[in-house]
Structure 1
Amino acid sequence: MNETIICAVGNVATQPVYRELATGPSARFRLAVTARYLDRGKNEWTDGHTNFFTVWANRQLATNAAGSLNVGDPVVVQGRLKVRSDVREGQSWTSADIDAVAIGHDLARGTSAFRRTPRPESATAAAPARPEPDWETPPADTDSQQAPEPVAVT
């Protein structure tokens, strides 16, 4: 319940690695997020520190990410932040992972062509067809000009 949800804007740093696991598709890639700031002395934008995150995607998001992302693509990633620290062989390390909920191209830096993924045939065949609801408002009865009866709320 108390998870840290973040939105990171950066560039794909490694080609997504796609795997078919027993629990379903999984993909991961590294995301480079570089801060930019205005250097008032030089009056120009300067790159700051770069943070690297390992982005994990599962199920359909993994399949779509592996088929859509390439190294250098500007992306927006939303997901749960997981920071882990450990000591191995005397060396301490910290990793920051994002368990992605949504991934998309950053349209502030380019264009993208969206294509829906087809649904599996078995899912559509198993779901019963539901009729479209009647959204039209029935015509008003012109003979009756009385106000509707109030409804008691308990």
Structure 2
Amino acid sequence: MNDTMVTVVGNVATNVEYRETATGGMARFRFAVPSRRWDRGSGNWTDGHTSFYTVFAWRSLAMNLAGSVSVGEPLLVHGRLKVREEEGDGRRRTYVDIDALAVGHDLTRGTSAFRRVVKAEPNVTGPPRRVAVAAAAEAVARVPVP
């Protein structure tokens, strides 16, 4: 299938919403991508239109996003562009979503400390999803934020 792949640079606009689904974790947040242009006449950067996207992430990326990202942080998001139309209240609306494959902090605007999440061996006797989510949340909570 020919998906449209995009990489966008912007800022987290809403808190990351995380929830467990039947197929694993899912995270969602709104992402603001402002356009800035150099105005030769004034010799300054000018702000243009800001585009908003809803970013969806699944499984381990979703869990890591929930423990790593806050409102206002600059990110790079790479994934599949999805355009959908919905009709409600007699109006047709167009939504633009990104199914994220990779997300990272924009290091041109700050620093970041990467911490690898160690995946545990599969737990055959217990519920693996709950154990993994609790272990990841505990690992994130123990790491001091600089």
Structure with more of its chain in helix, by fraction: 2
Query: 2:114: which partner in 1?
Result: 114
RMSD (Å), alpha carbons: 1.0
Gaps of 5+ in 2: 124-146
* Paired amino acid for 1:9: V
Q: Percent identity?
A: 59
The SS at the match of 1:122 is coil
CA apart distance, 1:122: 2.2
Q: Offset of 1:86 from its aligned partner?
A: 2.3
Cα distance in structure 1, aligned partners of 2:41 and 2:85? 38
Q: CA deviation at 1:41?
A: 2.2
- 1:33-112 to structure 2, matched below 5 A, reads 33-112=33-112
Deviation above 6 Å: which 4+ runs of structure 1? Answer: none
Q: 1:121, CA displacement in angstroms?
A: 2.5
Q: In the alignment, which residue of structure 2 is the partner of 1:134?
A: none
Q: Distance in 2 between matches of 1:24 and 1:47?
A: 39
Query: Could you tell me how far apart the structure 2 residues matched to 1:82 and 1:122 are?
Result: 33
Give, as a single letter, the amino acid of the residue that structure 1 aligns with 2:48.
G
| Equivalent residue pairs, number | 123
Give the secondary-structure state (helix, strand or coil) at the position aligned to 2:122. Answer: helix
TM-superposed CA distance for 1:28, in Å, is 0.4
Give unpaired runs (5+ residues) of structure 1: 124-154
Q: Residue 92 of structure 1: CA displacement?
A: 1.7
